[in-house]
Amino acid sequence: MALMLFSDFGATDLYVGQVEAVLDRYAPGVRVINLLNEAPAFDVKASAHLLAALASRVPRGHVFIAVVDPGVGTRRSGLVARIDGRTFVGPDNGLFSVLWHRSAMRSVWRIADHPQGVSVSFHGRDVFAPMAAAVASGEFPNENVKQIPAPEVLLPGEDLAEIIYLDHYGNAFTGLRGQDLPEARELCLVGMRIPHARVFGDAPPGKAFWYVNSLGLVEVAMPAANAATTLGLRVGQSVQWAA
């Protein structure tokens, strides 16, 4: 078992190390894997689709601490959710919605009120990390959780026809899953009709194309070029299939 960290904390900021220190304190010897700490900042909707795609590639039995939490410090609850043999710890703000909707094997617990001394701005460190460590150490369920029927906040679980992530190459991940798509379809984005190519080497130099990436999502890219910079792409832009 490993602890998987998914967040919008930023890979070079001071937050990830603090979470790792808490995990090491409460679950010494459990491996921590930084799955992604550059999730779209504050964007729960895009991050919910990205988390679902990443989690599907991780073996069952692992524990995820997932924090994209613009409502930290408000009355929103924290959750522990078991979905398809994986456990997710994080805020009840819709972040686990896509995972929840796409699974029939699911159960969820609400984390109890937070004790004194918890930072109102860093529940990832003070609430979710200790709970994730308890799960990884086999100390769950415990007196700090109560089972509930479903998360309080559930966003739609259908594919999302938007850009959800830009990697450092400038490739644009969408929230569209790529199974069973006809390759002749064109994708409409920023006023362009973008054709399909199976791999980067099949696309003409300097021309945008779409393909199904390693997470099974439709992605827009350019051979040896930055599609995001060239085309002016950003997270949240709409995409649609050409008629």
Predicted confidence at residue 113, as pLDDT, reads: 77
For the chain, which residues make up each domain, given as ranges? 2-148, 160-241
10-residue mean pLDDT profile of the chain (243 residues): values are 98 97 97 98 99 98 98 95 98 98 97 86 97 96 95 96 98 96 92 96 96 98 98 98 92
Distances from the Cα of 176 to the Cα of 32, 165, 236, angstroms: 29, 12, 13
Cβ atoms of residues 241 and 186 within 8 Å: yes
Q: Which CATH class is domain 2-148?
A: alpha beta
The reply to whether CATH 2.40.30.90 applies to domain 160-241 is yes
